[in-house]
Each structure stands twice: as structure tokens, then as C-alpha cells.
A and B are shown apart, each in its own frame.
Chain A
Amino acid sequence: MTAPQRVMVVRCPGLCPPPGAGPGRGAARPFQRALAALAGFCPAVEVTEPGACAFAARGPARHAGGEAALAAKVVAALAGLGVGCRVGVADGLFAAACAARATEGDGTVHIVPPGQAAAFLARLPVSELGDPGLAGLLRRLGLRTLGDFAALPAGDVVGRFGAAGEAAHRLARGRDARQVTARPPDADLSVAWQFDPPEPLAEPVVFAAKALAERMHAGLAGRGLACARVRVQVGWAGGRESSRLWRHDGLLSAVQVADRVRWQLDGDQEAGPGDERADGGITVLRLVPDQVTRATGHQLALWGEPVVSDRAARAALQVQAMLGQHAVLRPLPQGGRNVSEQVTYVTFGIKRQPGLAGGREARPWPGRIPGAAPAVVYPEPPEAAVTDAAGRAVTVTGRCAVSAAPAALAIGGEPPRPVTGWAGPWPLSERWWDPAAASRRARFQLLTGDGRAWLAAVQGGRWLIEAGYL
């Protein structure tokens, strides 16, 4: 094992967003200036979070005459821009970030000597791990400091807490969270194709993408690596650029990568100004593997996700290659008052959003239609005409009074069916606090002479068929 990397973390508390908030717009510009100033010390500055950045300290420190001297220069440079900062230097990114947080105030520096990272971390609380769930669990187990946690045998930690626990345990012992992979992989493993003269058509570019993807895969496989995502960058002679990340997970074939290049070009054409000549054709296509990890077979099933069978995943990817990524969905049951809201759909292969955690279906949803769920839920409810015995349209007043008993139902342009049973109206007023999303509806269940039952809603004087009990 090589000596751990010395890392300097520069933290600008004034530019950090408050916890829970997104990056502030006002802070973005001063932070950009701070980054530009730091680039004078080290060209490869990595932004770790809004308001904080890190870089390898060994080279710049040697140039500046020591880590303390370098830190002093950094503080002075940023102070010149009117930005207060705290600097931490230690072995590894995690220890350096903790050191920067452990400083006493703006303009101060905390340097953890080489080899002392584990001892420095041992005093800190487990909340420094940045995983509230794990930290809470550890506290309940009586492990209050990182030192307590680090003292556990690594094998037991893996057995009890899984891969995420192992990563946290490595951090607590002053090592990097993950085994060191071949570094720097990004620069080495990206592949590019120059088009000279610029290529005005998409087809030859897609063709080149296939050969390019084969080269990228060969480069990754030769080092025993796989990438979680691949970034496709396209440059035009007119200066326009298009860059997008695609999920890869080590599962895509070269043809499938080429398909993603095609979708990106198609999507750009739709979104862009549509004037191909102004762009002057494509000059460069680059594929950059992102989040490179060791190839350990396929990685669709990550921590906490249901395991996707290889065969089903391949079939889904095949269909995605034919129809586009968003053509294959997975259902995710969740609660809701309306039948159309009780299931959301996530694109296959996209990681679950934290907000779509599911499990909300068990909560009470007052106003929900009770009883069995309908088998047919129309994504776009068709309009219907509901008439009474005299042939007049049935209306509902603002106070939920029905003008007459429904006698006939005509869905879309179909011939009317006699209504043999009905119940309602069940009013539902949703999101009245938000004028754009507010909706007031009165729902009915209608039974027609052919034995079918329908869930209808009156909204703004129109009858819509939301679902069918078929």
C-alpha cells in the first residue's frame, strides 16, 4: 500500500448553504472567484460540496515551503478576495475535511501530521461520518466517537452493517472509504474521436461511437474496471457543446452506448435552435467513463435496492435501446387520494429518488375512494357525457347538490349506456393553497347496464372517466 495522500481542504463557512438548503445563488460567484484563486496553487481543485473544495497538498506544499506556509498563503489569498476560510490538512479527504471543520474560526488552519489521522479522528463524534442513520444506530449501541467505532473488528462491521458500514469503518480508521482504484482513471480511460472535416450528419457519428465505445470498454476491461456512468460529450464546429451522463453499470454493449449517443444527438436537435448549418457540424465525440470502480459483475442491485435479475435487466435494456430510455418503467406503489396517484413510475435503471421512498400507501388518505382499486386507470381521463332521464346534462353545484339522478353515460364518442346504479358526489378539494395545482372535484361511481362500473369525476363542469372497474 502506498503512503496515504496528503489532502488540503479549504472550507468557506460564509459561502456554505445552511443545512438542508440548496446551494445559494448569491454565494456561487464569490466561490467561483475563490476557486480561480486556488487554481493558482493547484490546477486540480475538486469541489467537494458547495463552499468547500479539496486538492492534493503534496506538490503545492513542496513548492510553497511546507504545508503550514501553503495554508497561510491560501488564507491570505482568499482574504484578499474578502472570503473567510478555514483550512484542514491531513491524510485522506475525510480526515482533512474533519480537520477543516475542527478549526477555531475563520482564517485558522488545522494540520494533522502524517500518520496521525486515525488518532485525530478517534476523538470526534460519529456524526462526522455524515450518515445520520448510521450515526444514530452507533450512538444507541454506545459507540459515541469514531475511535470507538474504529476499534471494532472490520469483519464484524461488514457482517453487521454491510458495505455502507464497511465504508464508514474505513473512514473512521483514517483510510479512504473505498479501496484505492487505479488513479487517475478518468483522464486515461476517456476516448475521443475527431471529425475532420466536421461531420454534419448524425449517422456517421453514431457509427463512430460504436467503435469508440468498444475502445473504451477494452480500456476498462484491460484494467479490471467498470464504470457506473458514461459521459457523452459532443462538440460542434460552431462552439456548441452537449454533455450528458448515461447510466452504464458495466452492462451496456458498444451498440447500446452508440444508441445513447444517437438519443443525445436526437434530443439536442429537438431542444436546440434546429439550425444545423449554424453549428457547422460535429468536430469531436468523447466518451468519458464516470464513477469508475472495480468490475465486480453487474451493479444494478445496489445497497437497499431490489435485486434485478440479469435476464430481466437485459430484456429491459434491449427494449430501452429500441424505444428510448424512458420507454421502460417500473411501478412504485405509494399513497394518494386519486387513483392515478397511487402508483408512480420510475424509469428502469434510474436510481430511486429519496422522495419516492414508497411505503406511503399504508398511511391514511382521507378522501380516498374506499373499496377495491380499479383495474383500469386512465392516464388521460376521457371526457364523458352524463345525462338524466330527460336527456339534460347532469351538473353538480358548488355545494355538491346534483341536478338530477344520472340515467345515461356516454364515454368519449361511444353510444350512451343506461346507468343502473350510482353513488356520489364525493367532493375532493386538493392543494387549495396553491392556485396553480388546486383542483376541486366531485367524484361518482356509476354502474352501467352492461355490468361495468366506472369512477367518474366532475371538474369545472366537465365529466371525466378516471377509472374503470372492468
Chain B
Amino acid sequence: MPAVPPGAGLLPVLPALRDLLPGGGLARGTVVTVPEFGLLCLALAAGASAAGAWCAIAGIPEAGLAAATGLGLDPGRTLLVPGPGGSWPQVVASLLDGCELVMVRPPSGAPAHVTRRLGARLRRGHGVLLVAGDWPGAQVCLRVAGRDWTGLGRGHGRLRACRALVTAEGRGQAAGPRARWLWLPAEDGSVAVADPGLAPPAGIPALPAAATG
């Protein structure tokens, strides 16, 4: 079996994302949502994969695997199901049996009985369900509240790095909003903690003092 430390019941994440998650990792048997698929989803999966976990990506044919491998995702331990179609709940259930982390974007809204059944299946196993979209009853919801790309001018330059404000809210242990400025991605393609001393760029609301702590 891959060497994922089972002790705390957590799947490891990239160091820059630890502060955003209760316990510093993805709790096994829980659902984590990101409202919109993007680099944040891939970064969440990359840490677990780099630590030896099997990951599956279902229903996201446009997932940029080159970016994900740059973050540490091991392509040799990744399964892709680009088009699960209407039977996606069964596909996710099967994948949860074999993979520690399953990323899915439900093609349609997830009906309550489906989320309940998959939630029960999750709690029995050791997997983490990472949903790119809505999921009633998710333990943690991460989202990118604002972005600020650097390097691109008007007619010159190129995209170099993006400073993003990532917020996390959740239930129970995860309650209370957390927020961090991250380089998503940094100039070398990795994910790193951005300097909070930098002034928030124009157009992005300043954080309430309690949330940044």
C-alpha cells in the first residue's frame, strides 16, 4: 500500500494549503468543495498524490494534467474518467473503493438522496471526495475570492504569477472562516504562501481583521 500516514485520518496537502484546512489536511471520509474547477482543485489533489495516494478525476475532461503534475500530482497514480455521464454516482462510488481522493464535477445538480448515499459510503471508507461544484453537507468549502495576475501588460509581457485570496469555511471543527493569500501559481508553477504585507490589489475587498488571523 502507498505510504500515506493513516495516523491522523488526514490526507496530506501541499504546505501552503495547510493553514486553510482544519487539522492541516483533508480529513478522510469527508466532502470538500470548490465552487469552480481550477488550479485550487488540482493543488488540493496534488499534495495527496505526491504523498502516495491514488487520485481519480471524474467528469472534468478539461483538467490540465500538465499543471497538476507541475504541482506534484503523480500521473502514474491517477485515473481519469472524463465522461461518467448520468451514472456518475455509481462511478464515484466505484472510484472511492480504489482511490483515496476522488475529484468530481457532477454533470447536473446532485440530488439529496445521491449525496446522502455517497456520504454514507465515504464515511465507511478512507477516501476524500473533492467536488468542483455544489454539495449540500460538505464539511469544508474552499473558494478563490479574488485574483491578481502579474506580468501581463497591455500588449506586452506574459502571465507570470497570480496572487489569489483563498477562503475556507466549514462546519463543526472547520467552522469559522479562514483566508490566506497564496501564489496560485507562483512564478515557478508551484503554490506558495504570498506575503500578507502586500496591499490587496484594487477591486478586491480588504479582509476583515478577524478572518486574516
Report the nearest A residue to B36, measured CB to CB: A470
**B9-32: which have CB < 8 Å to A?**
none
Q: Which of B50-81 contact A (CB under 8 A)?
A: 54, 56, 61-70, 75-81
Q: Which residues of A contact B173 (CB under 8 A)?
A: none
Contact B98 A339 (CB under 8 A): no
Which A residues, 326 to 352, have Cβ-Cβ distances below 8 Å to chain B?
327-333, 339, 342-343, 345, 348
CB <8 Å contact, B152 and A421: yes
- B154 and A372 contacting across the interface, CB-CB below 8 Å: no
Q: Is the CB of B98 within 8 A of A313?
A: yes
Question: When the two chains form their complex, are residues B76 and A306 in contact, meaning their CB atoms are under 8 A apart?
Answer: yes
- Which chain B residues border A311 with CB–CB below 8 Å? 54, 97-98
Given A312-B79, A332-B75, A371-B158, is A322 in contact with B94 using a C-beta cutoff of 8 Å? yes
Number of A-B contacts (CB under 8 A): 172
Which residue from B56, B75, B152, B161 sits with its C-beta under 8 Å from A447?
A: B152
Contacts of B69 in A (CB 8 A): 331, 333, 343
Which of B114-122, B142-150, B174-182, B205-213 has 4 or more CB atoms under 8 Å from chain A?
Answer: B142-150
Q: Once the chains are docked, how many angstroms separate the CA of A109 from the CA of B162?
A: 74
Binary interface profile of A, 273-312, with partner B (CB < 8 Å = 1, else 0)?
0000000000000000000000000000000001001011
Closest partner residue, chain A, to B189 (CB atom): A372
- Residue of A319, A373, A451, A469 near B81 (CB, 8 A) is A319
Which of under 10, 10 to 19, 20 to 34, or 35 or more describes the interface residues of B? 35 or more
Smallest Cβ distance from B139 to chain A, in angstroms? Answer: 23
> Contacts of B130 on A, CB cut-off 8 Å?
none
> Do the beta carbons of A445 and B159 come within 8 Å of each other?
yes
Encode contact with B along A83-122: 1 for CB under 8 Å, 0 otherwise.
Answer: 0000000000000000000000000000000000000000
Let me know if B65 and A312 touch, CB within 8 A: no
Q: Are A309 and B98 in contact (CB under 8 A)?
A: yes
Q: Cβ of A323 and Cβ of B91 under 8 Å apart?
A: yes
How far apart are B94's CB and chain A's nearest CB, in angstroms? Answer: 4
Residue of B66, B82, B156, B186 touching A342 (CB-CB under 8 A) = B66
A binding-site residues for B, Cβ under 8 Å:
306, 309, 311-316, 318-319, 322-323, 327-333, 339, 342-343, 345, 348, 369-379, 405, 421-423, 445, 447, 451-453, 467-470
Residues of B within 8 A of A (CB): 1-2, 36-39, 41-42, 54, 56, 61-70, 75-85, 87, 90-91, 94-99, 146-149, 151-162, 185-189, 203-204
Lowest 4 CB-CB distances: which A-B pairs, in order?
A315-B98, A451-B147, A470-B38, A375-B39
